[in-house]
Every structure is written in C-alpha cells, then in structure tokens.
C-alpha cells in the first residue's frame, strides 16, 4: 500500500511546475488561471465560489486538507482580504507548493501548516469557520476529526463541508480516483452516517445541499476540454500524476452510476 504522501506528493518536479506557471502567466496567475492545479475537487473553482458564499464575514478561518490552497486565494481575491485564514494539510510537499503559489500570486492571506486533521494544534475556540473541501474523504478517523473540529470552533462558528459521500450504488465504485489510487485511501461514508456523527459531536445541521448533478456536468466538460487537440498547459496531471485522465473518467463514471454523491453540509454547534 502507498502512503497518502506518495499519493499526493508528486513533487520532485516542483521547479518544473513553477516554470510552467511562469511561462503561461508571466505577470503572475489569477486564481482562475491556477484553478486547473489548485482546485483539486469535483466542481472546480465554480464550486469554491459557491462554497465561499457561506463565509459572510472576514473572521478566523481554518481549512483542513487545503491542498494547494486554491480556496484560500479565491477567498482573498473575491471577498475577505482581512480574514485570518489557516491552510492545514498533512502532505508537506503540497504545503510547500501552496506557500510558493501564494508568493507568486501575491493574493493571499493565509498561513500554511503541515499537520493532521485528526489532531489539531490549536486552542479551544480558535476559529469562526472550519472548512473541508474533499478532505474528510481521506480521513479514516472521522470521529476524532469532528471531535477536534468541535473543540477548535467557536460556539457561534460554522463547519462547512464540501465532500464526496457514498452513493446508493457504491458497489460499482471504480478506482483510481483523484483522492485515492486504490481503495485503502478512500474513506467515504453515507450521508446518514455523516449526519449522525455530526449530531454526536454536538452539531446541528443548518443546511444540506446535493451538488451531484452540477458535479457530473462539470466533470463531463473537463473530459471534453482534456480531449481537445490543443492541450492547456496547466492540468491536474501536473499535481496528481500521469494517471489523472483515468482518475477523471472514473469520477465521471462514479457520479453517473450513483457510486458517489457530492454534498455541501453546513453545521453549527448546538
């Protein structure tokens, strides 16, 4: 079995990724131009814009499993320049590239930290928002992670999850997918199990939306783009490796076959 670091840490070629970005965008890339490599979730930058509407004031934001930090730069660019935004991720090479992208774009407000979402290095009541975008799906001990989130979130805070769940036909699930080369790294659960865990940890659900149909349309458009003769210079394969085209078409199949679902859940402490 490969480690989660091996799955996400294809960064012996960090310099070549930076050169590709510099050549494509010598003036410095915008969040929209970086989206093919730093919005590593189903739905891309549009889904992030939709999620960020939930963040209504520039408070203290913790993103767990922030990857390359696309959401944090978009948050800064689109709405909250004064937010105190912490990007936390377990994969150190992703964090290094996230910090470098921050310098390259000069549009950021985040600090970047390598840590495990199952053991958060913060005091109680440290954040107004905790956000997870396609990262709970990699976390084996959700009980521990949600316990930690409930501890660090302020009593008036909000937990915002944009996640992949098991669909009604999960038995047909195909691997590899962008978050797991093999089943061992994929920790999907059903909606009922997620809601019951949130409830156990003292959360009340303030909103739940199913984004599966939009996600399928988005993934279908991405496949069409990738099949064009003139390939874009920035693609998720730069980060997720040459197997990305198989991962992308498996996501499309899994969505179409109801093996997976995409939801946004907003939960608040009781």
Ligand X SMILES: C[S@@+](CC[C@H](N)C(=O)[O-])C[C@H]1O[C@@H](n2cnc3c(N)ncnc32)[C@H](O)[C@@H]1O
Binding site for ligand X (CB under 6 A): 4, 8, 39-41, 64-67, 70, 89-91, 94, 116-118, 133-135, 138-139, 178-179
Shortest distance, CB of residue 268 to ligand X, whole angstroms?
A: 21
Q: How far is the CB of 230 from ligand X (least distance, A)?
A: 25
In the bound state with ligand X, the residue whose beta carbon lies nearer, of 116 and 184, is: 116
Cα(246)–Cα(72) distance, integer angstroms: 28
Query: Tokens in use for 153?
Result: 């979130």
Residue nearest to ligand X (CB): 67
Q: Helix 212-226 vs helix 44-52: angle between axes, to the nearest 10 degrees?
A: 150
- Shortest CB 148 distance to ligand X, Å: 10
Q: How far is CA 262 from the centre of its chain?
A: 12
> CB-wise, 31 or 70, nearer to ligand X?
70
- Token digits of residue 141: 């001990």
Nearer to ligand X, 100 or 230 (CB): 100
| CA-to-CA dists, residue 136 to 49, 118, 160, 185, angstroms | 20, 10, 11, 11
* Closest distance to ligand X from the beta carbon of 66 (Å): 6
Helix%, strand%, coil% for the chain, nearest 5: 45, 20, 35
Select 10 or 253, whichever has its Cβ closest to ligand X. 10
């Amino acid at each position: 079995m490969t480690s989660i670091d091996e799955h996400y840490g294809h960064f012996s070629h960090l310099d070549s990724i930076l050169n590709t970005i510099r050549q494509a965008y010598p003036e410095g890339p915008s969040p929209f131009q970086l989206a093919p490599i730093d919005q590593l979730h189903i739905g891309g930058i549009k889904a992030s814009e939709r999620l960020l509407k939930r963040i209504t004031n520039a408070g203290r934001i913790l993103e767990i499993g922030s990857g390359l930090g696309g959401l944090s730069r978009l948050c800064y660019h689109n709405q909250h320049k004064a937010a105190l935004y912490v990007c936390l991720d377990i994969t150190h090479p992703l964090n290094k590239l996230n910090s470098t992208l921050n310098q390259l774009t000069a549009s950021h407000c985040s600090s970047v930290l390598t840590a495990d979402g199952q053991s958060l290095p913060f005091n109680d009541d440290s954040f107004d928002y905790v956000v997870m975008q396609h990262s709970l799906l990699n976390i084996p001990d959700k009980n521990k992670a949600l316990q930690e989130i409930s501890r660090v979130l302020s009593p008036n805070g909000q937990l915002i999850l944009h996640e992949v769940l098991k669909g009604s036909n999960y038995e047909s699930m195909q691997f590899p997918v962008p978050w797991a080369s093999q089943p061992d790294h994929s920790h999907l659960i059903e909606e009922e199990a997620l809601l019951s865990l949130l409830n156990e940890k003292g959360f009340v659900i303030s909103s739940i939306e199913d984004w599966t149909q939009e996600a399928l349309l988005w993934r279908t458009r991405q496949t069409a783009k990738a099949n064009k003769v003139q390939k874009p210079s920035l693609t998720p394969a730069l980060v997720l490796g040459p197997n990305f085209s198989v991962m992308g078409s498996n996501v499309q199949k899994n969505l179409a076959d109801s093996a997976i679902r995409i939801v946004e859940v907003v939960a608040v402490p009781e």
